[in-house]
Amino acid sequence: MSLDPHVLTDWFADRARDLPWRAPGVSAWGVLVSEIMLQQTPVARVEPSWHEWMARWPTPSALADATPADVLRVWGKLGYPRRALRLRDAAAVIARQHGDVVPSDVDTLLALPGIGAYTARAVAAFAYRKRCPVVDTNVRRVIARAVHGAGDAGPASTTRDLADAEALLPDDDEFAARMSVAMMELGALVCTARSPRCADCPVLDDCAWQRAGKPAYDGPAKPVQKFAGTDRQVRGLLLDVLRDTSIPVAKARLDLVWSKAGQRDRCLDSLLVDGLVEQTSDGLFALPGEH
DNA sequence: AATACGTGGTT
DNA sequence: TAACCAAGTAT
Distance A226 CA to B7 C1' (A): 12
Alpha-carbon gap, residue A70 to A6, rounded angstroms: 44
CB A179 within 8 A of CB A9: yes
In a domain, A267, yes or no: yes
Mean of pLDDT values over A278-286: 97
Q: Which of A273, A285, A275 is nearest to A241 (CA)?
A: A285
Distance A1 CA to B7 C1' (A): 41
Distance A13 CA to B5 C1' (A): 36
* CATH number for the domain that contains residue A280: 1.10.10
Task: Show the CA angle centred on residue A218, arms to residues A201 and A151, nearest 5°.
Answer: 5
Distance A245 CA to C3 C1' (A): 34
Q: Name the domain count of chain A.
A: 1
Q: For nucleic chain C, give residues with Cβ below 7 angstroms from it.
A: A 19, 21-22, 34-35, 38-43, 79-80, 86, 113-120, 122, 136-138, 141, 184-185, 187-188, 192-194, 222, 224-225, 227
Distance A113 CA to C10 C1' (A): 9
At A224 the pLDDT is 83
Q: Considering only CA atoms, which residue is closest to the C1' of nucleotide C3?
A: A224
Known active-site residue A47: no
Band of the pLDDT at A1, cuts 50, 70, 90?
low
Under DSSP, the state recorded for A249 is: B
In a domain, A138, yes or no: no
Please name the nucleotide lying closest to A155, CA to C1': B1
pLDDT one-digit tens code per residue, A128-179: 999 999 999 999 999 999 999 999 999 999 999 999 999 999 999 999 999 9
User: What b/e sequence results for A174-188 when a residue is b if at least 16 CB atoms lie within 10 Å of its CB, and e otherwise?
Assistant: ebbbbbbbbbbbbbb
Q: Which of A151, A114, A113, A159 is nearest to A135 (CA)?
A: A159
User: Measured over all CA atoms, what is the biggest interatomic distance in chain A, rounded to whole angstroms?
Assistant: 68
pLDDT one-digit tens code per residue, A89-142: 999 999 999 999 999 999 999 999 999 999 999 999 999 999 999 999 999 999
pLDDT one-digit tens code per residue, A258-273: 999 999 999 999 999 9
In a domain, A143, yes or no: no
pLDDT one-digit tens code per residue, A14-73: 999 999 999 999 999 999 999 999 999 999 999 999 999 999 999 999 999 999 999 999
Q: For nucleic chain B, give residues with Cβ below 7 angstroms from it.
A: A 40-42, 44-45, 77-82, 155, 157, 194-195, 223, 225, 227, 230-233, 235-237, 239-240, 270, 276
CB A161 within 8 A of CB A118: no
What is the percent of chain A with per-residue pLDDT over 70, rounded to a whole number?
A: 100
Distance A157 CA to B9 C1' (A): 29
In a domain, A276, yes or no: yes
Q: What nucleotides of chain B have any atom within 7 angstroms of a protein Cβ?
A: 1-9, 11
pLDDT one-digit tens code per residue, A225-243: 899 999 999 999 999 999 9
Average pLDDT along chain A: 97
What is the percent of chain A with per-residue pLDDT over 90, rounded to a whole number?
A: 96
In a domain, A37, yes or no: no
In a domain, A280, yes or no: yes
Q: Which residues contact A53 (CB under 8 A, 6 or more apart)?
A: A33, A37, A74
Full DSSP string of A126-194: IIT--------HHHHHHIIIIIT--SS--S--HHHHHHHHHHHS-SSHHHHHHHHHHHHHHHHHTS-SS
In a domain, A13, yes or no: no
Please name the nucleotide lying closest to A83, CA to C1': C9
At A223 the pLDDT is 85
Q: What nucleotides of chain C have any atom within 7 angstroms of a protein Cβ?
A: 3-10
pLDDT of A203 > 90? The answer is yes
pLDDT of A290 > 90? The answer is no
Domain extent at residue A254: 231-286
In a domain, A277, yes or no: yes
